[in-house]
A and B are shown apart, each in its own frame.
Chain A
Amino acid sequence: DGGITQSPKYLFRKEGQNVTLSCEQNLNHDAMYWYRQDPGQGLRLIYYSQIVNDFQKGDIAEGYSVSREKKESFPLTVTSAQKNPTAFYLCASSIGPSTEQFFGPGTRLTVL
């Protein structure tokens, strides 16, 4: 079955530690996205990538980093510089820009 996988489902980290969230897709999509979701705030775009080895900052990129070395993978690193990292993180992919996005199941990160 084609789809997007995110791992792990739940992640706990101590304050000050970097943590990497995994996102993999086998839909052969060129574009991939990372969103952060907080209660009552909808989805906020962190980073996106339209093609391998290229990515752009979204609306809230500070304290986050990404890489796009392979078409199917778009990992997100939450660094210690992110002041309030506890949130639900969603990865998505699409055939191209401005087309419908397909979402993974999300990773809930809790920083203790």
Chain B
Amino acid sequence: AQSVTQLGSHVSVSEGALVLLRCNYSSSVPPYLFWYVQYPNQGLQLLLKYTSAATLVKGINGFEAEFKKSETSFHLTKPSAHMSDAAEYFCAVSEWTDKLIFGTGTRLQVFP
């Protein structure tokens, strides 16, 4: 079965600093991969998705992620953090059957 691991349940950065949220997956076939963001007491919003086209995927709010097959990784980055980026972020992988598998989430804090 496919799985996804998010390293670090909490990440703290200063405003203007690089954001790096880590996601590793296990899959025996090329997966589809997703990053979602969740603000407090709200649903999840899709940030970006990888569907076997370009390995560098650009999403909303200045985020991007790079698919690295050799490392089975799909890390999320943003060059300069903004206070409004403070939220919880979820990585997900498709199981090629009937559902997505979500990671346990990483809470991003941004300090002024």
Contacts and interface: CB of A to CB of B under 8 A. Distances in A.
Contact count band on A: 20 to 34
A42 B41 contact: no
Given A42-B104, A43-B90, A98-B97, A105 B43 contact: yes
A99 B42 CA distance: 21
A100 B43 contact: no
B42 A105 contact: yes
B44 interface: yes
B24 interface: no
B100 A98 contact: yes
Given A40-B9, A100-B34, A106 B42 contact: yes
B98 A90 contact: no
B41 A98 contact: no
A105 B9 CA distance: 23
Closest 6 pairs (CB-CB, A-B):
A103-B43, A98-B94, A42-B104, A97-B98, A103-B44, A43-B102
